[in-house]
Chain A
Amino acid sequence: MYTLSSKLKLTAIIFIVVGAIGMIYGFLSAPSSIEEVEQIIAEQGAHHGESHGETAQMEEHQPAGHHSQPQEMHGADADHSSVAEGHESSHAEHLLHQLQNKPWAATYVAAFFFFMIALGALAFYAVQYAAQAGWSPVLYRVIEAVTAYLLPGSLIMLLLLALSGMHFNHLFVWMDPEVVKHDELIQGKSAFLNVPFFLIRAVIYIAGWNIFRYLLRKNSLRHDEADHNRWFKQSFKLSAGFLVFFIVTESMMSWDWIMSVDPHWYSTLFGWYVFASLFVSAITVIALITIYLKSRGYLEYVNNSHIHDLAKFMFGISIFWTYLWFSQFMLIWYSNIPEEVTYFITRIEDYNLPFFGMIVLNFLFPLLVLMNSDYKRVNWFVVMAGVVILIGHYIDIYNMIMPATVGKSWFIGIPEISAIFFFGGLFVFVVFNALTKAPLLAKRNPYIEESKHYHY
């Protein structure tokens, strides 16, 4: 039986409190009116006189393009001057939305990041059951504990989505009736992208995942006390059913919760891409928690072959993620169709470092560190690679959400880091609390003996 150390509990609570304070600060410091934003712009202009000059140059550049079409020159110039007048105020309004979105988007990214770890862990757990894996049963209680965050995590997500639906923020442009009125593209999608249907779908996914999680966990505990294998067989069937349900809902969840922040853009492999991200983060967290518990002497039967296997998964799925990232990027870059490519243009221009930096974190680093078979057995190597992978996948989610919600006004500052602290603390608290609820070794699992003596 695992007992939650008071130190860990206190650390988690400190993280939650500090994170909550920072998040409240983030919400309070967001500008509430256009006047405030205009003041910010004025201050920035005073500070960065040179950068202002650059934007002025950019603006001059535009009419030069119009000159190439002489027949429209007059009309275009007249239009331009009127646009320029309205430009100042619409720019401020645009910036106001971005700055108001900032604390919301920071919360949303962190909430989704930790939620997806729990969901990925449940998928990994179901894969282990459905594949009848012989190496992993000694880790089942750790994985089950990670999935314990699924319920709070998904409810927080639902709450955030409902708040967006009630117009507390502008995370989803298509929820704004003013925007939709002037946007034919979104109008065409409104049969799918409308708030009631959106929330109903979210409730269906969340209910489905949590019911599967509840039943799998219950079966696992019941099986310990039983004298027959009925619960185990039922878990096998449940896992197979969950995997079917999961891959459909996960894909739709990624359209709803992530892709729809850019309602003009679509990508067919997006669901897989998000899946790879959540799967590798979940496996990494499982490996980190396993190494932590092992180092505290709680997991008697876990040896370095189990760590080796988890590290192989981290390595393989990292490369799988890169494959999907590159496939999505390269296909759009290559064909360069304006309606698709804007997605990457904003990311490359405004998010250059996070966008390409995450390739280093999520691909190059794990590739080079975890390639060697011996290194995959060395705990500190796996921990180091794991921390980098988790940071990389946070930035991955950040890159998915931020460009559409805060645009150029991004910064990893107090709201972002506080949200990571808050949800990280909550995650640690829920997961380690769940670890205390059951013995750390599944007693009667048919594969437990094989798993105890697993050696690679």
Chain B
Amino acid sequence: MSSKVLHAIYTDDDLLMQAVKQTKEARYHIEEVYTPFPVHGLDKAMGLAPTRLAITAFIYGIIGLSVAASMMNFIMIEDWPQNIGGKPSFSFIENLPAFVPIMFELTVFFAAHLMVITFYLRSRLWPFKEAENPDVRTTDDHFLMEVDVANHKVEEMSKFLSNTGAIEIKLIHK
């Protein structure tokens, strides 16, 4: 099954935002938008769901905190409670202040790194990954909106898109 999409290219981000809103209103389905830089409010205009990355970071932070606390509780209190410079190693709470810097750092470490890895996984980014850019100009100064043709008429759609200010419209057979 071959699907057809239209690539509409814009040269201005305000124009792009306008076009995205009009296209949504006309009930055409936007597959993807390629921009050289983050366009403020584009996700809202496209109606994308908010990210849950921050929630994952919070959970990872809690994991990091638990790892740090249980690690030091085992090493310093349970396994070999030595007297090191008179620090009280009888219970975890008594020696807690000395552990806090590590607990803090590991919380941040886990939250930051696992969140970044989650981001890479979810956005499918890795070294040697083949670039998905349909047009090299979208990394520099052009904006591209990919619209699903589905069972609309191509003629009608391209007229609509050129009315939204697209400078170029291409029909792509995927």
Contacts and interface: CB of A to CB of B under 8 A. Distances in A.
Nearest to A332: B97
B58 A371 contact: yes
Interface string A243-274: 00000000000000000000000000000000
Contact of A334 (B54, B58, B98): B98
A436 interface: no
B97 A330 contact: yes
A334 B54 CA distance: 35
Contacts of B97: 326, 329-330, 333-334
Nearest to B41: A455
Interface of B: 54, 58, 86, 97-98, 100
B87 to A, nearest CB: 8
A373 B58 CA distance: 13
A336 B58 CA distance: 35
A336 B97 CA distance: 12
B100 A336 contact: no
Nearest to A373: B54
B100 A326 contact: yes
A336 B98 CA distance: 12
Contacts of A330: 97-98, 100
B43 to A, nearest CB: 15
A333 B98 CA distance: 9
Interface in A308-361: 326, 329-330, 333-334, 336
Contacts, number: 12
In the A-B complex, the 10 residue pairs with the smallest Cβ-Cβ separation, listed nearest first, are A330-B97, A333-B97, A334-B98, A326-B100, A330-B100, A334-B97, A329-B97, A371-B58, A336-B86, A373-B54
12 contacts: A326-B97, A326-B100, A329-B97, A330-B97, A330-B98, A330-B100, A333-B97, A334-B97, A334-B98, A336-B86, A371-B58, A373-B54
Given A333-B97, A334-B98, A371-B58, 9 more contacts: A326-B97, A326-B100, A329-B97, A330-B97, A330-B98, A330-B100, A334-B97, A336-B86, A373-B54
B53 to A, nearest CB: 12
Contacts of B98: 330, 334
Nearest to B55: A372
A336 B86 CA distance: 10
A326 B98 CA distance: 11
A176 B84 CA distance: 43
Contacts of A326: 97, 100
A378 to B, nearest CB: 16
The prevalent SS among residues of B at the interface is helix
Nearest to A323: B104
Interface string A368-383: 0001010000000000
A371 B107 CA distance: 15
Nearest to A330: B97
Contacts of B58: 371
Interface in A74-123: none
A74 B88 CA distance: 34
Nearest to B97: A330
Nearest to A371: B58
A333 B99 CA distance: 12
A333 B86 CA distance: 12
Contacts of A329: 97
Nearest to B87: A334
Of the candidates B54, B58, B97, B98, the one having the most CB atoms from chain A within 10 angstroms of its own CB is B97
Contacts of B100: 326, 330
Interface string A136-148: 0000000000000
Contacts of A336: 86
A326 B58 CA distance: 22
A371 B98 CA distance: 26
Contacts of B54: 373
A206 B100 CA distance: 39
A98 to B, nearest CB: 29
Interface in A386-433: none
B89 to A, nearest CB: 14
B62 to A, nearest CB: 11
Nearest to B86: A336
Nearest to B54: A373
A302 B97 CA distance: 42
Nearest to A326: B100
A371 B111 CA distance: 14
A154 to B, nearest CB: 36
B156 to A, nearest CB: 36
A330 B98 CA distance: 7
Interface string A55-70: 0000000000000000
Contacts of A373: 54
A242 B97 CA distance: 37
Contacts of A334: 97-98
Nearest to B58: A371
A206 to B, nearest CB: 37
Nearest to A374: B50
A348 B37 CA distance: 54
B51 to A, nearest CB: 11
A333 B94 CA distance: 11
A183 to B, nearest CB: 29
A331 to B, nearest CB: 9
Which of A330, A371, A373 neighbours the largest number of chain B CB atoms within 10 Å of its CB? A330
A334 B99 CA distance: 11
A329 B98 CA distance: 11
Contacts of B86: 336
B5 to A, nearest CB: 33
A185 to B, nearest CB: 25
A329 B100 CA distance: 12
A429 to B, nearest CB: 42
